[in-house]
Amino acid sequence: MGWFKKVTTSKRLFLTLFGIVLIGMIFSAVYVFSAVYSHDFAFSWNLSPYVAPPSSPNQTLDSTSLRVGDGKPKSIWVAPAPGSKMPPLETFRLTKEMVQERVKDNVIITTFGNYAFMDFILTWVKRLTDLGVENLLVGAMDIELLEALYRKGVPVFDMGSHMSEIDVGWGSPTFHKIGREKVILIDSMLPFGFELLMCDSDMVWLKNPLPYLARYPEADILTSTDQVTPTVTDERLDNWQEVGGAYNIGMFHWRPTDSAKRLAKEWKEMLLADENVWDQAGFNDLLHKQLGPPVDDESGLVYAYDGTLKLGLLPASIFCSGHTYFIQAMYQQLRLKPYAVHTTFQIGSEGKRHRLREAMVFYDPPEYYDSPGVFIYFITF
């Protein structure tokens, strides 16, 4: 009879464990189902401890109040009235007056791209506006993106690039053309007299960067890098003598100084003269024409380029690459809060999207979560 009692006891234990698991899964399924079909969850952006509460992009008004260059205040996410006509293309031409309407504390933040990167650009804009930062402009490299952003209430200008709407892929000839467009844009905007925080569209802001950049008013350029080992353990600039990774042009801050303007002009001329020069490699070559001595003993700035330009290297632990953020989590190891992540070291656009979704910092519209089916869980023993 002993064996019978053991079997009975085992069966009861199995049924008890099975019941606990089943109840837990039912509750989980109910929670997931209700969350997925909740509009508030589907459009929620408060997914990271470093992000402020979301803004509401649901208002509309007449299209004329969103026209760039009309001298009126511009509100982001305030879309033109449904069915309204698109303003003339020349309305979106980049001018000093257009930028002046968006600057704050003399700073403008800019990204650019084509229609294939629409979701990245919306993510970029939404993260900034959720952080309370609205002094931004987006450059459209094709008409499809220009109209799409305009109709969502995103401040946009025409780069006149006539770029293809498809994803051209890293390293392709069209990819290098995009790089040249960036340099041309920097060279065009610096003479306006505003500070320029230039970003690639495949990076995301996690914390307002402007107070950090303002700590270094003497810097002509502050740039991110591909450094994968920390040279500092706090928020100071990386030690320029220890940085071996390339200076990365996915996020860098320019002040409209004479030395920065000279660099932008020479950089542009270098790229236009030789289509085989990669924009980032050209930037590194120019800055390394002279590197050193340090500007002073405290700031971490260094003289570079022609010996007059003051350069600072943003710490890779908090102005993160894809490697230091997704793989190393360097900011966690150092107990720091990151300002940004640039999806470098990732495989293709789909890999970048996956990484950002995995980190819960990518914008997907409500319909992305609105699966028409029902989630069903199966247990096998």
Extents of the domains making up the chain: 92-365
The second-level CATH assignment, the architecture, of 92-365 is Alpha-Beta Complex (3.90)
Regions of the chain where pLDDT drops below 50: 3-4, 6-7, 30-73, 164-168, 170, 381
Query: Position of tokens 């950049």?
Result: 213
| pLDDT value, residue 14 | 55
CB 65 within 8 A of CB 72: yes
Q: Compute how many other C-beta atoms are within 10 angstroms of the C-beta atom of residue 272.
A: 12
| pLDDT value, residue 324 | 97
Q: Report d(CA 344, CA 202) in Å as an integer.
A: 8
CB 340 within 8 A of CB 203: yes
- Helices (H) and strands (E) counted in the chain, each on its own, are 13, 14
| pLDDT value, residue 146 | 96
Q: Which among 193, 200, 55 has a CA at the least distance from the CA of 114?
A: 200
| pLDDT value, residue 161 | 72
Task: For 105-137, write each residue's pLDDT tens digit.
Answer: 999 999 999 999 999 999 999 999 999 999 999
Please, where are the H alpha helices in the chain?
A: 2-36, 39-42, 96-100, 118-130, 143-151, 173-189, 210-213, 258-273, 279-287, 322, 330-333, 348-358, 366-369
* DSSP β-ladder status, 309-313 and 302-304: antiparallel
| pLDDT value, residue 241 | 97
Task: For 160-216, write each residue's pLDDT tens digit.
Answer: 875 544 444 545 555 556 768 999 999 999 999 999 999 999 999 999 999 999 999
| pLDDT value, residue 138 | 98
Contacts of 249 (CB under 8 A, 6+ apart): 182, 198, 200, 223, 224, 279, 280, 283
| pLDDT value, residue 257 | 98
User: Please, how many CA atoms are within 13 Å of residue 168, restricted to the half-sphere of its CB?
Assistant: 16
Rounded to 5 degrees, φ, ψ at 336 are: -120, 160
Residue 33, token pair as written in the block: 């189902």
